[in-house]
Structure 1
Amino acid sequence: MQGLFPSQQALSHVFGGCSPLTPRQSEPQPKYRSKYLARTELYTVWSAADDVKNKAAKLSDAAAAELEKGSRKGQEAVGKIQLHSAKFYAACTFGGILACGLTHAVVTPMDLVKCRRQVDPKMYKGNFEAWGKISRAEGFRGVYTGWGPTMWGYSVQGGFKYGGYEFFKKFYADLVGEDNFHKYKTLVYLSASASAEFIADIGLCPFESIKVRSQTTIPPFAKSTWEGIGKVTSKEGLGGLYKGLYPLWGRQIPYTMMKFASFETVVEMFYNYLPGSKSDYGKGAQTAVSFTSGYIAGILCAVVSHPADVMVSKLNANRGAGEAFGAAMGRIYKDIGFRGLWNGLPVRIVMIGTLTGLQWMIYDYFKIFMGLPTTGGAPPEPEKTKA
């Protein structure tokens, strides 16, 4: 008598290939075609869509194979990278350069509008109106005003931030001991990220100063990064490039503390919620977790650091020569008030969320490319000794 429930073979036939965690197997073609099946030549659109889908799958497989081949060659050229070695920190630094410099340069149009609206809220009614006016007046290049100092500055900052975070995380973990690290790991994440960002901002500050001045002056303050640096140093000396360092620390250190601590926490939550352990998931799944966790962390970062971001933009654009830092901050706050500290927050949430998600995805994929584990996640369970 036939059972009430479908057999294991039937279930496997129907649902095999639906799981995102296992590679899809090509189904064998039936030996005899049933007369009840639709004739595919009568449904050309359906056939064309299947052709496109199959071609896309082949291209994706080919790209994955090339990346795998490149990964093997890269690892062979560099050699095996031991965790927490000098070579490991160098790889993390390079990954940070890739992650931050490229992503910040790509979103320059959003940053341009954000900075101009922070300095003068009446300049544009909305973001799309702003991009339209800028493109009509200055062309496509005008929409990307400030991309040069942005890319240079955040490349330097990204290298010190990610490489420094890996170094300080290990340093503070060793300092407190393994047992205390698992108890107070969030404090370790916060301390490590704050230490790394403190150093990274010293490299970022001169480029950030040029970026903000270029984006908030019409016509732009300088045509290139190095022209802008020359103009500032000739009038104000080297100190002119660093007059925004204190508010930059005030913006970036809380931002980075939230970015790294919340990312580590969210990643761990994901792997605790998902079935199995982190090692059970492939490269694609792990980078997807990195992107999603980074996007969530980016939203939190944007909210926490936005008031300081407004002050940095105002200070770099409107600080008078010889004006003391405290006096300038007081004057700016008096002009804009508490509500003015939140100008441009929605566009910054979108920008920073996207940025942070892409940065973690690029950084962690580069670590995979070099044969290193991705960031975050619960530590592997200790193996049980046999009796």
Structure 2
Amino acid sequence: MSESDDLKQKQQKWQWENATAGAIAGFATVASLHPLDVVRTRFQVNDGRLTNVPLYKSTANAIYTIARTEGFRGIYAGFYPAVLGSTVSWSLYFFFYGRAKNRHSKGGEKKLSPGLHLLSAAEAGALVSLFTNPVWLVKTRLQLQTPMHQSRPYSGFNDALRTIVKEEGWRALYRGMGPSLLLVSHGAVQFTVYEELRQIFVRYKSKGNVNYNHGDKVLNSVDYAMLGASSKFAAMLFTYPYQVIRARLQQRPSISGIQKYSDSWHVLKDTIRFEGFRGFYKGLMPNLLKNLPASSITFVVYENVLNLLKPSRRQG
């Protein structure tokens, strides 16, 4: 086998190691924090007008009310598509991200700039959105099913997919795709901040350390948790309104088949008109409570699994 073939084989193995680590990280994240995701989604779509979602006073009140009136199934509504979507999303994201980084760095020969980190993350996010939008649509609708709904409830993930295609057509599976593509900037910002902070951490902790050439071996799980939370917070400040717009677009039509919002522009106009800019940050608190620790968990699991799969991991 030639040296170029050997390098290519190692690069392909590295990409699948990224995908495996991402999938495990995504599952661990969703399994631990799903109730907060249900609460966030219900806050996001509650625009104060006619709605099938009850009014909640706070995050704690929402969790208590849902658990009391809907039971365990209510607090874990949409869990299966959430696990499926998150696991597939993280797996594909890290896979495409690893491929993009490898391509832009010429197989690791070139140091990546912040701009190339941003481009790699944006490429990965766009590809993941195309694959997973139907899963997130179903998750949102299952989370918004309450005793106040008049339409026949979806019995589960498969029933939701069949019913949506039958009643609304296959194009309905891609409602909210526009905001989803804009949300690519979330991953791009998060991964760019993460990569740049990680290099700062490595340089700082490697001063006088003989293991500097081993790069990430000087970092521990606490460092990864801090990096994950910090990068997530930075991304959230910029992109949360896109999540609100997407959730409102993905609501189920009324029993007469009328969609509450026709497109993203409709959501934008009505939200500003009736709620002001604060409307674009509804559900931010449960989102912070869910995603800051979730991002920490994800990156701790991801980095540690990656180090197990590839002990000789190279920096960058």
TM-score (norm 1): 0.69
Alignment of 1:240-259 (within 5 A): 240-251=172-183, 253-259=184-190
Shift of 1:346: 2.4
Q: Where does residue 73 of structure 1 map in the other structure?
A: none
How many aligned positions are there?
A: 293
Q: Which residue of the partner structure matches residue 84 of structure 2?
A: 152
> What secondary structure, in the 3-state scheme, does the structure 2 residue paired with 1:125 have?
coil
Match of 2:298 in 1: 359
Kindly provide the CA deviation profile for residues 276-321 of structure 1, in whole angstroms up to 9, marking residues without a partner as x: 2545799694333222211111111222221111111111126754
1:148 is paired with a residue of what secondary structure? helix
Partner of 1:261 in structure 2?
Answer: 192
Task: Summarize the alignment of residues 275-286 of structure 1 with structure 2, pairs less than 5 Å apart.
Answer: 275=207, 276=209, 277-278=211-212, 285-286=219-220
1:370 aligns with 2:309: yes
Q: What is the TM-score with the length of structure 2 in the denominator?
A: 0.83
Matches within 5 A, 1:81-100: 85-100=11-26
Q: Over the residues paired in the alignment, what is the CA RMSD in angstroms?
A: 2.8
Distance in 2 between residues matched to 1:87 and 1:243, nearest whole Å: 35
Measured in 1, the distance between the counterparts of 2:313 and 2:140 equals: 34
CA–CA separation in structure 2 for the residues paired with 1:352 and 1:231: 31
Q: Aligned pair 1:292/2:226, yes or no?
A: yes
Contact 1:367/1:373 (CA < 8 Å) preserved in 2?
no
Contact kept in structure 1, 2:47 and 2:271, CA below 8 Å: no
Per-residue deviation at 1:231? Answer: 1.2
Work out the CA distance in 2 between the residues paired with 1:374 and 1:128: 42
Select 2:68's aligned residue among 126, 136, 146. Answer: 136
Structure 2 residue identity aligned to 1:228: A
Contact 2:102–2:108 under 8 Å retained in 1: no
**In 1, Cα distance between the equivalents of 2:180 and 2:216?**
38
Q: Is the 8 A contact 1:298 1:354 kept in 2?
A: no
Q: In the alignment, is the contact (CA less than 8 A) between 1:303 and 1:349 conserved in 2?
A: no
Q: Distance in 2 between matches of 1:376 and 1:119?
A: 42
Gaps of 5+ in 1: 1-79, 378-387
Aligned counterpart in structure 1 of residue 250 of structure 2, from 290, 310, 316: 316
Residue-by-residue CA offset, 1:87-142 (whole Å, 9 max, x unaligned): 22112112111111331243110011111111116610011111111111111221
Counterparts of residues 9-20 of structure 1 (less than 5 Å): none
Aligned partner of 1:77 in structure 2 is: none
Name the amino acid aligned to 1:189.
Answer: H
Q: How does 1:111-130 map to 2 (within 5 A)?
A: 111-120=37-46, 123-130=55-62
C-alpha distance in structure 2 between counterparts of 1:121 and 1:128, whole Å: 19
CA distance in 2, matches of 1:290, 1:112: 26
Deviation at 1:323, TM superposition (A): 3.2
Q: Answer yes or no: is 1:187 the counterpart of 2:115.
A: yes
Q: CA 1:291–1:246 in 2, change beyond 3 Å: closer, same or farther?
A: same
1:106 aligns with 2:37: no
Unmatched 5+ stretches in structure 2? 1-5, 49-54
